Amino acid sequence: MNRTSMRPWAATAAGAALLVSLAACGAANESDASGDESSAGSSLSGTLNGAGASSQQSAVNAWKQGFQTENPDVTVNYDAIGSGGGREQFISGGTSFAGSDAYLDDEELAAASERCGGGDVITVPVYVSPVAVVYNLDGVDDLRLSPETLGAIFAGDITTWNDEAIATDNPDADLPDVAITPVHRGDASGTTENFTAYLAAASDGAWSHGEVEEWPIKGGEAAQQTSGVIQAVSGGSGTIGYADASQVGDLDTVAVKVGSDYVEPSPEAAAKVLDAATPVAGRAETDLALQIDRGTDAEGVYPIVLVSYQIACQKYDDPAEAELVKEWLTYVAGPEGQQASADAAGSAPLTEDFAAKVQAAIDTIG
Amino acid sequence: MTMTLTPPETRERTAPSLRTRRLPKAAVGALHGLAVLLAVAWIVGPADARAGLLAVVLAGIVPLWSRIVEGRRKAKDRLVTLLVTTAFGIALIPLGSIVWTVLEKGVPVLSREFFTYSMRNVVGEGGGIHHAITGTLLITLGATVISVPIGLFTAIYVVEYGDGTRLAGALRFLVDVMTGIPSIVAGLFAYALFVVIFGDGVRMGIGGAVALSVLMVPVVVRSCEEMLKLVPTELREASYALGVPQWRTIVKVVLPTALAGIVTGVTLAIARVIGETAPLLVIAGATDSVNFNLFDGRMATLPVFTYTSIIQPGVPPEPAIARAWGAALVLLLIVMLLNLIARLVSHVFSPAGER
Amino acid sequence: MSTTTETETRAVVRPGDRVFRGISSISAIVIVSTLAGVAIFLTAEGVPGMTASADQVKSGETFLRYVTPLVFGTLWAAVIALAIATPVSIGVALFISHVAPRRLAQPIGYVIDLLAAVPSVVYGSWGILTLSSSIQPLYVWLERNLGFLPFFAGPASATGRTILTAAVVLAIMVLPIMTAICREIFLQTPRLHEEAALALGATRWEMITMAVLPYARSGIVSAAMLALGRALGETMAVAMVLSASGVISVNLISSTNPSTIAANIALSFPEASGLDVSVLIGTGLVLFAITFAVNVAARALVARHREFSGAN
């Protein structure tokens, strides 16, 4: 028994060793990155941890790439756990910065100021992305809708595609007698919040459920995450939903009525919203929280946008951490970072004027 | 079944046939074959629902025919065999479909780069899952190291030492309750625990291992317990009769006899947790870089990688989604390898004469 | 049973036994304290949410009103899933252990074991991409032909992402683990019992009913409990597949479905903060209590058929 019983253990050990050795050496691309420090000439090093909105994740990935290439000794981590979780972890001191689809409310702001050692809280919008209204309807290619109609559709008051209200917006389209299946986000989400905020502001009462993070109506088709909405809309017939414009793919998007025009979602049209927005009153200068005018009728503005912030401290206990955060935000809000996220996530780059304001806030760190 | 079982079976099949009438084998085979063919044709595509209906009718003829020719008992046997085989066939459809989907979408992604690169500084195409493989192996190893001793010893306590006592009963019950802990709650619990010890915002691989252990321990206990209970008491009594102390009886007699089942149970438990997403997202976090240290910093894992790649693919989404399927395939391959090792162990270890 | 009396009657307790017993007890204590830890954590974090008044939380409902549809959905989905999975996995396990040729049985069992490891995300994606679209015509058919039953009242979902689809996905997810346990137990049936049955002239089915099933009964219930645990607590797959609205409805095929507790936690947790987190953790506590209750019921069920369980 004793003699023979060693063999299987040896086999197990060998097998386990095989598995581990498979993974034991570092990744091929990483040894390169840290190998040629001389070429980059950056003195920054360390790990920067952030957490928050999942909407920013694609953009953060692009920023990470750019930032880590410039500073090979830096590792940036971002957990896309959602805005609420991001804010909470930032306030509790678990992370150095937060990504959030909503700015801090007053209560959170007080707590965050305490976490920041009494200093001000930096809140900068870094990710502006149009939210597209997507639909899947055979034979109709360029649908145009007014906010009132849109509100009524999502509230469940307009139920067929050949409804008069839709026909008024689309005199040329051949609208079929098909039931409308509105698809909404089943999870709590900043996209839903921004979309309902638009409906509440612009639909003239057709949408009476206000601005909410979680879909307020029971019933109807619910889907998880942006990708789920896209799948549900493309999978059904007569479906309509809302999703981040960068993820739309082959689906048709609705041109939304603004003033007397119909505007298709585009990064340029979305960026104009920021210029028209007003800062939230009663906040520190470093807090660039914005009140977006969604009922606007200014020309060429696409009013359904998701504005996502990054939140950081003015003061950190560790000067190295402050330096990292400052450099990170400078990169993110700078032209390079904004271009990177525009390429990778289809976001709207900050306009020059606005970027200057953002930079001024970031410069106060340290 | 086993070799020893075959003789009585064949005797049953041949000897009584001298007197009782039996269905012609060829006809039964033909009917079954045709039914399977039609069913496959219906599921795979070329034929419509009528083919499926016909398949049911064809397969149903056999037991009816058997009722007339062979009698009630034999007919019932044939009917049940048919049902059991059909259950198997039904189970194969979705399982086959899933395996096929993973293979179809995962295989094209596999490449040298896919295994040796991490996702650090990769946007769009390229990159690999080296970091996630490392993380998954280490965290799962950690979870196994924690849960198997605890689970096995608890099972031993319940079956060998405490059987019939009130404490063992309570323990069994608690373990059952533990199976019902939702994975996300396990993750939150581990996070809360580590926050108490290490402070806010803690992320480490070992936390993931602890969270997975919470999910894994009950599976290990439950399956080990069942397997230990099935060891015939005669074996234990024979050992005691020879003056062997109880603990040596457990080590030398009970455990080896139950080994095949225990190993399957442990492998199943690993398989159960290795694909967990939610708890790891909470406590182990996600990173793009390789991290070998279970006790410091975030670790990427294959399920979390798959999840984030599918949910947040970026622009364009195709490469990320392809990587997600590739990661799912690699996860399957890892489990397959573990399974092979486990089978090897149980095969060599099982006492001679066991199946 | 017999083992404990043996140690008591023996005068000398060996040090080895003492050590072994010690380690076993420590393991048991670790398990109990973990469970207690989880319970304390859930209670401490959840109670503020459970006692919060309606206007303090985002949902604008009292906890009881908030959680009732979720409890219904959780049980409903798990029960349907188990109703589908139990007969199928017993069938598959029997097929592998007693029907299929040995040569075929082993690789099949092996493949099914593997499927327990498919991440729930993959099940979820498969559920959306493949299952829901291929099962949707069936829903239309059900609505047209069996629409008089409340279960199939419709209107049939346009995407197929209904509670029945979610239950089917759950059933498929629990199938491997249930099959594997049942199979192992069937294989452990004392060979002498089987051979005795066959020698008396029993057909294979009669042998199974006389020797295998009675012997395996407690194991089957255990397997079902494990499966139920997984079905009740499954998060990601349900969250991805189900079009959930938080209503109470027995309608299996419409796009307005009850949500489940675990899926609801996963969907709402990321964007929740403050008291809303407590509410969600409170629902987790409720799920915990449900599992508790289900297990009490199962235990009572098994206890009635004790004669064959245990090392007899």
Q: Which domains does chain B have, with CATH numbers?
A: 23-108 (no CATH), 116-354 (1.10.3720.10)
Task: Identify which of C4, C295, C309 has the shortest CB distance to residue B177.
Answer: C295
In a domain, C2, yes or no: no
Residue C157 domain-assigned (yes or no)? yes
Contacts of C199 (CB under 8 A, 6+ apart): B8
* Cα–Cα–Cα angle for B271, B274, B277, rounded to 5 degrees: 130
**Do residue C239 and residue A222 have CB atoms under 8 angstroms apart?**
no
Residue B159 C-alpha, separation from nearest chain A C-alpha, in angstroms: 25
Interface of A with B in 71-100 (CB under 8 A): 75, 77, 79-81, 89, 92-95
Q: The tokens of A12 are what?
A: 């197990």
Determine the average pLDDT of the residues in C175-190: 84
Q: How many domains does chain C have?
A: 1
What local confidence, expressed as pLDDT, does residue A21 receive? 57
**A92/chain C closest Cα distance in angstroms:** 12
Q: From the candidates B114, B120, B139, which should be mutated to test the interface with A, based on the most A CB atoms within 10 A?
A: B120
**Cα–Cα distance for residue pair A11/C184, rounded to 1 Å:** 24
Residue C5 inside a domain? The answer is no
Residue whose entry in the numeric block shows the structure tokens 């409308």:
A180
Residue B285 vs residue A41, higher pLDDT: B285
Calpha distance A222→C231 (Å, rounded): 21
Q: Which residues of C touch A190 (CB under 8 A)?
A: 271
Does A216 touch chain C if contact means CB atoms closer than 8 Å?
no
Asked if residue C38 is part of any domain, the answer here is: yes
Residues 175-214 of chain C whose Cβ lies under 8 A from any Cβ of chain B? 175-177, 179-181, 184-185, 187-188, 190-191, 194-195, 198-199, 201, 203-206, 208
Mean pLDDT for B4-19 is 50
Predicted confidence at residue C86, as pLDDT, reads 92
Which of A105, A89, A50, A98 lies closest to A309, judged by CA? A98
Model pLDDT, residue C309: 42
The larger pLDDT score, comparing residue C1 to residue B110, is at B110
Interatomic CA distance for residues B21 and B18, integer angstroms = 8
Provide the residue range defining the domain that includes C232: 15-308
CATH number of the domain encompassing residue C172: 1.10.3720.10
Radius of gyration in angstroms for the set of CA atoms belonging to chain B, rounded to a whole number: 26
Q: How many CB pairs under 8 A join A and C?
A: 97
Tell me if A80 and B286 make a contact (CB, 8 A cut-off). Answer: yes
Q: DSSP 3-state assignment of A183? A: strand
Chains that touch B (3 or more CB pairs under 8 A): A, C
Measured in degrees and rounded to the nearest 5, phi and psi for residue C62 equal -70, 160
Q: What is the dihedral of CA C210, C211, C213, C215, to 10 degrees?
A: 130
C9, part of any domain = no
CA–CA dist B115, B134 (Å, integer): 10
Q: Which pLDDT value is given to residue B2?
A: 44
Question: What kind and span of H or E run contains A77?
Answer: strand A74-79
Tens-digit pLDDT profile for residues B133-165:
999 999 999 999 999 999 999 998 888 887 777
Averaged over A131-151, what is the pLDDT?
90
List chains adjacent to chain A, taking adjacency as at least 3 C-beta pairs closer than 8 Å. B, C
Mean pLDDT, rounded, for B61-78: 80
Domains along chain A?
6-128+308-362 (3.40.190.10), 130-269 (3.40.190.10)
Q: Does C6 fall in a domain?
A: no
Token output for A101: 């689809």
Q: Does the pLDDT of residue C192 top 80, yes or no? A: yes
Residue % of chain B over a pLDDT of 70:
90
Distance from CA of B324 to the nearest CA of A (A): 14
Interval C287-299: pLDDT, tens: 888 877 877 777 7
**pLDDT 10s digits, C14-55:** 787 888 888 888 888 888 898 888 888 888 888 888 888 777
Radius of gyration of chain C (CA): 23
- The 10 Å Cβ neighbour count of residue B14 is 10
Chain B from 148 to 177: CB within 8 A of any C CB: 149-154, 156-165, 167, 171, 173-177
Q: Is residue C48 in some structural domain? A: yes
Q: Rounded to whole angstroms, how far apart are CA atoms B192 and B177?
A: 20
State the pTM of this model: 0.79
Choose the weakest-confidence range: A1-5, A205-209, B190-194, C235-239.
A1-5
Determine the distance in angstroms separating the CA of A346 from the nearest CA of chain C, rounded to an integer.
23
Of the residues B341, B344, B347, B350, the best mutation for testing chain A's interface (the one with the most A CB atoms within 10 Å of its CB) is: B341
Residue ranges in B285-317 assigned as alpha helix (H) = 302-311
Residue C195 lies inside a defined structural domain of this protein? yes
Whole-angstrom distance, CA of residue B217 vs CA of residue B266: 9
CB nearest A186 (choices: C58, C157, C267): C267
| Tens-place pLDDT, residues A111-132 | 998 888 888 899 999 999 899 9
